[in-house]
């Protein structure tokens, strides 16, 4: 579709449910793509997966205050709803759900969803409260629309694990689909926060992916995961990264230290480059 009118934008849960009820009455399957806006090709890959897998696709656009720490970038997080609406329209979505904060969190909202263990390590350790914010809002988004399937990027791999776990644990009747990370030609994973990089930092940024890809390859060949992680940290520092929050090889499902080499593993990393905190991951 080119040049057509943008898809319908819905602001309230009641309106969202009215629309979904009509689709359900017509026997249509529904895919959900939760986003915080500032859409890039990575998000559009999620939309395309949903469009390909379901009769109707809902994209949600909500910058969730509960998952930002007090010193994080909630206030300056990039927002451009009109641009995002155009992008998802062209990608084939059917509805944009863009609620205000009060619609999602009434003033006396008091309930949190917490995933112990999986939500407390790695990103959870470096960003206290982050996964409780994510788990709570994702639970809500899933229950507001009760789609057949919801799509999340592997770029935020730990988030995907947390969401799979809470969906199973709370018996939410929705299937969770992970979608492969979309990368620039030089390997940098697409991220809304890449906009924070200067030109010089942007030139360095692909070293993150290059380095963890090498770790994955070496560990796959039987090299020691801890030695490889330490090598990667040194590499990143030499390339110009600031603090390296972690580079680690983990069990791909539990995200515990990967001790059993026969089980699927994942290399995960988070490191600062200027004002941007970059995260990435690859399969071993």
Site residues (vs a copy of itself, CB under 8 A): 13, 17, 106, 108-119, 135-136, 139-140, 143-144, 146, 165-166, 168-173, 254
Strand-pair partners of 171:
none
Catalytic residues: 43
Q: Rank residues 52 and 117 by Cβ distance to a copy of itself and give the closer one.
A: 117
Question: Between residues 198 and 256, which has the closer beta carbon with respect to a copy of itself?
Answer: 256
Q: How far is the CB of 165 from a copy of itself (least distance, A)?
A: 6
DSSP string, 77-93: S---HHHHHHHHHHTT-
Q: How far is the CB of 121 from a copy of itself (least distance, A)?
A: 11
Closest C-alpha to 140, from 267, 281, 13? 13
CB of 249 to a copy of itself, least distance (A): 20
Separation in Å, CA 250 to CA 52, 107, 187, 269: 31, 39, 21, 11
Please say which residue, 46 or 174, places its beta carbon nearer to a copy of itself. 174
Q: Least distance to a copy of itself from the beta carbon of 162, Å?
A: 9
The smaller minimum CB distance to a copy of itself, of residues 166 and 182, is found at: 166
Q: How far is CA 90 from CA 12, 30, 44, 93, 95, in A?
A: 23, 18, 9, 8, 12
Report residue 217 as tokens: 């390859």
Shortest Å, Cβ 247 to a copy of itself: 24
Q: At what angle do helices 130-145 and 157-169 cross, to 10 degrees?
A: 60
H/E run at residue 139:
helix 130-145
Q: How many CB atoms lie within 10 A of CB 15?
A: 15
Which phi and psi angles does 61 have, rounded to 5°?
Answer: -130, 105
- The residue (of 167 and 228) whose beta carbon lies closer to a copy of itself is 167
Residue 269, beta-bridge partner list: 247, 280
How far CA 10 is from CA of 97, 98, 275, in Å, comes to 5, 6, 34
Q: Which is nearer to a copy of itself, 47 or 161 (CB)?
A: 161
Least distance CB 232 / a copy of itself (angstroms):
28
Question: What radius of gyration, in Å, describes the C-alpha atoms of the chain?
Answer: 19
């Amino acid at each position: 579709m080119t040049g057509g009118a943008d898809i319908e934008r819905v602001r309230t849960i009641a309106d969202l449910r009215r629309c979904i009820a009509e689709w359900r009455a017509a026997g249509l399957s529904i895919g959900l793509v939760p986003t915080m806006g500032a859409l890039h090709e990575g998000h559009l890959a999620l939309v395309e997966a949903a469009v390909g897998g379901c009769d109707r696709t809902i994209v949600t656009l909500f910058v969730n205050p509960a998952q930002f720490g007090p010193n994080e970038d909630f206030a300056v997080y990039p927002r451009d709803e009109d641009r995002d609406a155009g992008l998802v329209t062209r990608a084939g979505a059917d509805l944009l759900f863009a609620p205000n904060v009060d619609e999602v969190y009434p003033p006396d909202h008091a309930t949190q969803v917490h995933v112990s263990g999986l939500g407390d390590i790695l990103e959870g350790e470096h960003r206290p409260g982050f996964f409780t914010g994510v788990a709570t809002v994702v639970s809500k988004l899933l229950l507001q629309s009760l789609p057949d399937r919801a799509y999340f990027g592997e770029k935020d791999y730990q988030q995907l694990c947390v969401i799979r776990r809470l969906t199973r644990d709370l018996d939410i009747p929705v299937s969770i689909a992970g979608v492969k990370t979309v990368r620039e030609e030089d390997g940098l994973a697409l991220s809304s926060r890449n906009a924070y990089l200067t030109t010089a930092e942007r030139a360095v940024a692909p070293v993150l992916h290059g380095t963890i890809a090498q770790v994955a390859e070496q560990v796959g060949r039987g090299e020691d995961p801890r030695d490889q992680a330490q090598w990667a940290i040194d590499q990143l520092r030499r390339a110009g990264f600031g603090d390296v929050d972690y580079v680690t090889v983990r069990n791909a499902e539990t995200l515990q230290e990967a001790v059993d080499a026969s089980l699927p593993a994942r290399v995960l990393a988070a490191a600062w480059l200027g004002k941007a905190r970059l995260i990435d991951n690859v399969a071993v």
